[in-house]
Amino acid sequence: MGDDAIVQDLLSSEQDSSNRSTIGFMLRQDTETALGDLPARERDILALRFGLMTGESLSFSQIGRRLNLSRERVRQLEHRTLNHLKRRQSHLRDYLIG
């Protein structure tokens, strides 16, 4: 492999990394905006369920204990909220497709 090929590989790798960083930043911003439009309880449920703040995902039961809700009620609220986000925030799907 010649020096030119090595430099091109490095530049291409840096550009890919930069693009992924930019996309990750934009995804976080759009996710925060989408969650910001939700009522506090639903936002808390999704944040706890998917570990959005701490990186640790909790079960329905664990969330229920924290929020003084039944496990089933947490599941229902998560389902309803995710459906709501799917309808209103369809542009977030672009991150999965792209």
Give the start-to-end residue ranges of the domains of the chain: 3-97
Per-residue pLDDT of the chain (98 residues; tens, 9 = 90+): 555 665 555 555 555 566 667 666 777 777 788 788 899 999 999 999 989 888 899 999 999 999 999 999 999 999 999 888 887 766 666 655 55
CA dihedral 78, 97, 51, 18 (to 10 degrees): -160
The fold for domain 3-97 equals: Arc Repressor Mutant, subunit A (1.10.10)
CA-nearest of 25, 5, 23 to 15 is: 23
What pTM did the predictor assign?
Answer: 0.65
Q: Is-contact 63 72, C-beta < 8 A?
A: no
At position 75, the amino acid (one-letter code) is R
Residue 58 to residues 33, 47, 67, 88, 95, Cα–Cα distance (Å):
22, 9, 12, 25, 24
